[in-house]
Amino acid sequence: MSVPADLLALDARDPLSYKREEFALPDDLIYLDGNSLGAMPKAVAQRLQHVLDEEWGRQLIRSWTGEADWMSLPDRVAAKIARLVGAKPSEVAVGDSTSINTFKALAAALHQTPRKVVLTDADNFPTDLYMAQGLNALLGGQLELRRVPSDQIAAHLTPDVGVLLLTEVDYRTGRKLDMRGLTAAAHAQGILTVWDLAHSAGAFAVDLNGCEADFAIGCGYKYLNGGPGAPAFLYVAERCHAAAPVFLSGWMGHADPFEMGREYAPAAGARRYVVGTPTVLSLSALDTALDVFADVDMEVLRQKSLSLTDTFIRLMQPLTQKHPLTLATPEAHAERGSQVSYHHPDAKNIMNKLIARGIVGDFRTPDILRFGFTPLYHSHADVWRAAEGIAEVLA
């Protein structure tokens, strides 16, 4: 069967269709797992080769402060990410992992409030919960990690809560929370917010300043396409800088690292939250990967994302009537990220069969089939081919 004419027409009108050529995607795969690891932009390989041959291989240590200017690489990458998440460059620090940055954000937020309750989604991503548990152990068990269902968060924003720790888009179901509304409700109770943007940044426009978020963290290897283990980022609202101490006070966050002073003096802005020596190879890959967003209107990206996921849900609907397949992702646009998930009792086995056929999504316990859509490199034709392949496997 050939791709339906209406979907080909949508692809013909797609203002982002040219972006697909900027990615190194195998022809024999329909890759629907960019929400776990983004595809590689072609320019990244060229950039890394230049770093290896010239910046490291020839210039050596001179690259720290010379033409390559490795010292300011975290700041240059931070500025590119800031545009995508609605922040000022001085509010974003790039480096370390999402987990480490979650620890930094939670520690800084809790320092600003005498309240010891951290409110979170009962099914939040494990690393967020683990970091809160580890911080509690470090503080001698002073904290209470209060876990409630995501649809009951607003009702639990009580005056004893100090910090609200949430992931904007649920990693299993793709449900998107109302960042603006929940942040406003939290602030009305004197509660600080920490938002995890792992499944948001690069998938659609995020407006941290507009939502008046206090802290946020996110990773570089999903929708930002920075490569496996790419550096993460931390957002700290400018109004919080003076009151949000740096508890992991490394020398690269010092106001003048090469002064080699014996007392820590924080750098200006979010740069103070950079801990150790910049990871030049991975930062260079992320730096170049972010260039694919340079001419992209994030609202246009969002509209394509919704069109792709709407199409997938529509094409999958007949299968939900024939098989024990239940949609887990909200159909309302305001409540959906850029992925679609289904419950199925044999989800793991089905996903293994799909991957063997070249339709690469992923499985999440206990019974979720998860399909991520990246508007920069997916077409509506890809969506149709994926749905056809899923139908054949289910049959």
Annotated binding-site residues for pyridoxal 5'-phosphate read 98-99, 125-128, 167, 196, 199, 221, 251, 277
CB 237 within 8 A of CB 193: no
In the set 121, 170, 196, 287, the catalytic residue is 196
In the set 31, 170, 370, 377, the catalytic residue is 370
Q: Is 221 a catalytic residue?
A: yes
Question: If DSSP codes are grouped into helix, strand and coil, which group holds residue 249?
Answer: coil
CB 265 within 8 A of CB 256: yes
Structure tokens, 201:
């940044």
Q: Is 222 a catalytic residue?
A: yes
Q: How far apart are CA 195 and CA 104, in angstroms?
A: 13
Q: Is 271 a catalytic residue?
A: no
Q: Is 196 a catalytic residue?
A: yes
Torsion of CA 218, 223, 229, 234, to 10 degrees: -20
CB 159 within 8 A of CB 167: no
Point out the annotated binding site: 98-99, 125-128, 167, 196, 199, 221, 251, 277
In the set 204, 221, 223, 377, the catalytic residue is 221
- Describe the strand order of the beta sheet including 368-372 as a list of residue ranges: 326-327, 339-343, 368-372, 362-364
Phi-psi category of residue 24: left, alpha or beta, with phi > 0 → left and psi -120 to 50 → alpha: beta
> Is the preceding omega at residue 126 within 30 degrees of 0, hence cis?
no
Report, as residue numbers or ranges, the catalytic residues: 125, 196, 221-222, 370
